[in-house]
A and B are shown apart, each in its own frame.
Chain A
Amino acid sequence: MPSNASNSNGLQRLIAQLAPLLIVCAVVLALPVLLNNDFLLNKVARYLVLGILTISLGLSWGFGGILNLGQAMSFGLGSYAMAMALKLKTVPVHTGVSGLPDFMVWNNVQHLPWFWEPFRSLGFAIAAGLLVPALVAAGLGWFMFRGRVTGVYVSIITLATMVVINLVIIDQQSYTGGFNGITDLAQLELFGVAFDAYGRATYYLVAGCVLLSLLVAFAFTKSRAGLIVQAIRDHESRVRYFGYDVALYQIFVFALSAAIAGLAGMLYTVVMEFASPTFLGVQLSLSVVVWCAVGGRQSLVGAFLGAVLVAGMQGALSESAAFLETWTLVMGALFVLVVLFLPKGLAGLAQATWRWVAQRRRAAGSAVARGVSQTEGST
């Protein structure tokens, strides 16, 4: 019987862990019913996309112990993949149907570069938006984790790699649009549905991807491989002496995280209607770390909510006259406070509160039981 009991225990625990995830997704999906404002809905969709990006960082940082300061690199690569495909679908003013994109004309490019060619296919672009970030991460991970690079050095290498790619994109203006990015994009059309950035369809696409990313990440963390990744976070060499090839596990979680970030990047292009080098900029990349820490890096839902709440607050603050200049200070202070007092973020706070309430209830329950047995004894 004991194993039966622990089985249902395990199942109960799984449901308890899945519950907050499903509640959050239900709220996200129900929001358009309450929010009858296309402009606001677009803004919320933007924050949801940043939430997906933060989930991806939570996966590699909170579970894998790999603090990737260049998480926005994967995000940017995904967003450019989508932008290239949508750019080729617009009809250029100068060159007509299936002519060269406008910025190439301005830069005296004669023919569409070879690496732009396959982006005429939307399917290819979507696959590239997931696979290019994953493969770049896997390649980078191969060098880092085979070489047993750990800790702060991983952060420095990932940050530096992102800056290099950012500079290359800015520098190669004739192929990438340079500093201006890729603008004036066609609408995304999938299976006959047009995704207008301010339409409900786009919101539901983003919301569906939130659900998908949360479930994929959750499924991974609950798998045996996910458990081993967490063990590597706690004690890397101990795992090695049990016969696991530690570098392969690190490469896997690093690449999975990059693919999810790539998905977020593609959605960002759809929601924002352009791609820009700032999408793989240092500021965004470090913001993601703050969101993740505030929400709780060891909780996927926490990381997601951290991004939505803090990015939402950032948006509100930077638009208000009072905080126009100082909102970055507010963000910095928030980060310091969370690191000092809430090392597990808001998710840790929620868990502690939940445990406290449960304990109180149990204590109250046993007090009632004692009271009952006393009255029974007296009668």
Chain B
Amino acid sequence: MSSHLDLRDVSVSFNGFKALNSLNMSVRKGELRCLIGPNGAGKTTALDIICGKVKPSAGTVSFDGTALQDLEEYEIARAGVGRKFQVPSVFRELSVSDNLEVARARRTSVLGNLRWNIGNSGREDIERLAELVGLTEQLDRPAAYLSHGQTQWLEIGMLVAQDAELILMDEPTAGMTAQETRKTAELFVRLKGKHTLIVVEHDMGFVKAIGDIISVMHMGQMLAEGTAAEVEAHPEVRRAYLGSGGISHA
């Protein structure tokens, strides 16, 4: 069966340092894949390659049969790839509802967007999204006033608004309380199936709560793939994490 997303022999080097070294990964449609690994394993770089932030020096990335590695970032986004960044990235001076409105990128051309917004056909959509991420009360406030956890939620909400087929999440629960993390896990499980997700996480509790298959990266390569139990038992994974007390405490 041909996969939805396919990375083949992808390599990247930054000034001689090989961040990715012949990385291979494939993800099926509707899957929720967790990507873990020690610091510097190349997890974020792998997401950067898929969304076009970094261009591979070798190898191919194909998504539904489209070669992504030669496209511009905005073209990759239009092809159906959404990305949440590790440092929460929102439009701080715009209101929460305007943030969500920008993310609902149904039309992307300049001339197509030279129309007014007061008819508000999308207002119900935005209210529904705000409810989903618990920001209904904050809709009219500038995003700069949100707490760190709320900012994370806003960016997650923006990705849901974008409605991309493939969603890349880089440490979505960083800085969240245990309760917020649990709510995030529930949301991700709901998104699974409708969207394909790749989630980079350190929190093993979170990974076990959401993930079907876990991919472990080490030194820019794929080390192991499997369920949580399989991965934890994998001898090479244990070796890669040696000294940090196993992956549960990473």
Docked-complex contact B124 and A3, CB < 8 angstroms: yes
Residue B187 CB within 8 A of the other chain: no
Chain A CB within 10 Å — which of B77, B110, B124 has the most? B110
Q: Which residues of B contact A242 (CB under 8 A)?
A: 77, 82, 102-103, 105, 158, 162
A239 contact from B53, B102, B113, Cβ within 8 A: B102
Docked Cα-Cα span, A222 to B116, in Å, equals 6
Known contacts A3-B123, A235-B89: does B118 contact A224 (CB below 8 Å)?
no
Residue A14 CB within 8 A of the other chain: yes
Docked Cα-Cα span, A248 to B89, in Å, equals 21
Docked-complex contact A6 and B116, CB < 8 angstroms: no
Residue A238 CB within 8 A of the other chain: yes
Q: Which residues of B contact A244 (CB under 8 A)?
A: 74, 105, 108
* Count of residues in B whose CB is under 8 Å from the partner chain: 38
Of A34-42, A225-233, A329-337, A357-365, the one with at least 4 CB within 8 A of chain B? A225-233
Dominant SS at the A interface? helix
Known contacts A14-B118, A223-B114: does B77 contact A235 (CB below 8 Å)?
no
Q: Restricting to B146-188, which residues have a CB under 8 Å from any CB of A?
A: 158, 162
Known contacts A235-B89, A242-B105: does B74 contact A2 (CB below 8 Å)?
no
Of B21-29, B92-100, B213-221, B235-243, the one with at least 4 CB within 8 A of chain A? B92-100
Known contacts A234-B92, A235-B91: does B74 contact A227 (CB below 8 Å)?
no
Docked Cα-Cα span, A173 to B102, in Å, equals 50
Q: Which residues of A contact B103 (CB under 8 A)?
A: 242
Residue A191 CB within 8 A of the other chain: no
Docked-complex contact A241 and B51, CB < 8 angstroms: yes
Residue A10 CB within 8 A of the other chain: yes
Q: Mark B92-136, 1 if CB is under 8 A from A, else 0.
A: 111000110111010111100111111010011001000000000
Docked-complex contact A235 and B90, CB < 8 angstroms: yes
Known contacts A237-B89, A243-B108: does B77 contact A228 (CB below 8 Å)?
no
* Count of residues in A whose CB is under 8 Å from the partner chain: 33
Residue A11 CB within 8 A of the other chain: yes
A227 contact from B94, B108, B124, Cβ within 8 A: B94
Docked Cα-Cα span, A220 to B114, in Å, equals 7
Q: Shortest beta-carbon distance, A14 to chain B, in Å?
A: 6
Q: Shortest beta-carbon distance, B98 to chain A, in Å?
A: 6
Docked Cα-Cα span, A220 to B99, in Å, equals 18
Known contacts A234-B92, A241-B77: does B118 contact A11 (CB below 8 Å)?
yes
Complex A-B: 26 CB contacts under 8 Å: A3-B123, A6-B120, A10-B118, A222-B118, A223-B116, A223-B117, A224-B113, A224-B114, A224-B115, A224-B117, A225-B113, A233-B93, A235-B89, A235-B92, A237-B89, A240-B73, A241-B73, A241-B74, A241-B82, A242-B82, A242-B158, A243-B78, A245-B108, A248-B109, A249-B110, A252-B110
Which residues of B line the A interface, CB within 8 A? 51, 53, 72-74, 77-78, 82-83, 85, 89-94, 98-99, 101-103, 105, 107-110, 113-118, 120, 123-124, 127, 158, 162
Beyond the given A224-B114, A248-B110, could you list 5 further A-B residue pairs with CB under 8 A, ordered by the A residue number?
A223-B117, A224-B117, A240-B73, A240-B77, A242-B158
